[in-house]
Amino acid sequence: MKKRIAVLGSTGSIGTQALDVIRENPDNFEVEVLTAHNNIQLLIKQAKEFKPNAVVIANKSKYKELSEALSDSDIKIYAGNDAISQIVEMSTVDIVLTAMVGYSGLLPTINAIKSGKNIALANKETLVVAGEIIQKLAIHHKVSIYPVDSEHSAIFQCLVGEEQNVIEKIYLTASGGPFRGKDIDFLKNATKNNALKHPNWEMGAKITIDSATMLNKGFEAIEARWLFGLNPDQIEIVVHPQSIVHSAVQFQDGSIKAQMGLPDMKLPILYALGFPMRLKTNFPRFSFWDYPELSFEKPDLKNFKNLAIAYEAMDKCGNMPCILNAANEIAVEAFLEDKIGFCEMTDIIEQSIENITYIKHPDLGDLINTDKETREFSKSIIN
């Protein structure tokens, strides 16, 4: 039977690539729900092609335009963030791909889990902000979470069949981003255009900036902690400029399993949607002869302080990762709008961590309040 997919964030980088995967596998998948934040023209185009049961636009001001554009179809039209959280409860949805950007993916993911939907998780911020809550909910509702990030997909693939074996350590690989090897003097003058030129991956603007600051890798470490039930000292970051080894697992006997391949997000998307099957593809194949040398380096925690801050937040836990995420989202937005410099993003994060009240055992309400308070404080610094 075909898996019916709800694609949350269908107009973003992961969302559009997921639709490519679905388009290429019509016998295995069909689109049940599409949602977008603001890109209504692309959402309309996607809806006309895939003919989902329902579409949701988060920006309520675009509801009329969306309704008129799809008036000749049977597609149900909704608007608003609450509608996105509710649409995942539809009985006709088999799996929810959460590809929304940032904190906005948290509540829809929680609702989907409570409704018993398996999750293909491309929204790492969900686990960064509320990893313990999400983990407990998934266990309680007997829901599987299939990671879509290439690194976590690699770990997940390495662990298939290893359920009885003890993980000693995992290695999360990082390309190093566009500023690998640069010192603080360079970073102080780094421009938005420089930061958006990732050497290996095609990603959205926000995650590309996070990659440039190395905070994305810190977020991935926090995500891995909750996905795989690890302690912080079991997670090691390794800079691997070629992005061929996507990550690796070391077991208690010393053996290491790694997953390799060309840097293409369609492969982990397909694996998450198709699991446990590996579906045949026509994707380009990796050749050892094209990559005669693979190199590995230690991350530069001195010049890329955000990665060190993320590890501190992971160690302290509580609402600290929530503060880190909220401050970073505001800082990245300001950087992309040319309001602050590259290194000022770190300054905003550090000031937020120092000033927002730390809560050791937050509930969901505490996290929602922490997110709101942190955003307001971060904006006050910028303004």
Q: Give residue 265's identity as a one-letter amino acid code.
A: M
Average pLDDT, rounded, for the chain: 95
Is the pLDDT at 11 greater than 90? The verdict is yes
Q: What is d(CA 78, CA 104) in angstroms, rounded to the nearest whole number?
A: 17
User: Could you tell me if 140 and 165 are in contact, meaning their C-beta atoms sit under 8 angstroms apart?
Assistant: no
Structure tokens at 1: 């039977």
- Answer whether residue 72 shows pLDDT above 90: yes
Query: What strands lie across the sheet with 256-260, from one edge to the other?
Result: 235-239, 167-174, 245-251, 256-260
Cα–Cα dist 311/233, whole Å: 10
Domain with CATH 3.40.50.720 in the chain: 3-143
Whether 63 and 70 have beta carbons less than 8 Å apart is answered as: no
Helices (H), 160-214: 184-188, 192-195, 205-213
Characterize the bridge pairing of strands 167-174 and 145-147.
unpaired
CATH 1.10.1740.10 in the chain, residues? 318-383
The confidence score (pLDDT) of residue 102 equals 79
Q: 255 Cβ partners below 8 Å, 6+ apart?
A: none
d(CA 35, CA 252): 43
**What's the whole-number mean pLDDT along residues 69-74?**
95
Report the topology of domain 3-143.
Answer: Rossmann fold (3.40.50)
CB burial of residue 292 (10 Å; 0-12, 13-18, 19+): exposed
In this prediction, residue 147 carries a pLDDT of 97
Residue 205: its pLDDT value, please? 86
Distances in whole angstroms, Cα of residue 328 to Cα of each of 5, 103, 188: 30, 11, 17
The angle at the Cα of 133, spanning 132 to 136, to the nearest 5 degrees, equals 85
* Phi then psi dihedrals of residue 8, to 5 deg: -90, 115
pLDDT at 242 over 80: yes
Calculate what percentage of the chain has a pLDDT beyond 90: 92
d(CA 332, CA 209) in angstroms, rounded, equals: 7
> What are the tokens at 110?
């929680």
Mean pLDDT, range 340-349, rounded to an integer: 96
Residue 118 confidence (pLDDT) above 80: yes
199 pLDDT tier (thresholds 50, 70, 90): confident
- The pLDDT of residue 203 is 73
Kindly indicate the confidence band of residue 383, based on its pLDDT and cuts at 50, 70 and 90: confident
Residues forming beta bridges with residue 95, ordered by sequence position? 5, 118
**Mean pLDDT calculated for residue range 347-356:** 97
State the CATH class of domain 318-383: mainly alpha
User: Percentage helix, strand, coil, to 5, in the chain?
Assistant: 50, 15, 35
Distances 14 to 70, 99, 195, 353 between C-alpha atoms, Å: 24, 6, 19, 30
Q: What is the pLDDT of residue 101?
A: 80
Task: Say if residue 95's pLDDT is above 80.
Answer: yes
Instruction: For residues 277 and 83, give the distance between their C-alpha atoms in angstroms, rounded to a whole number.
Output: 32
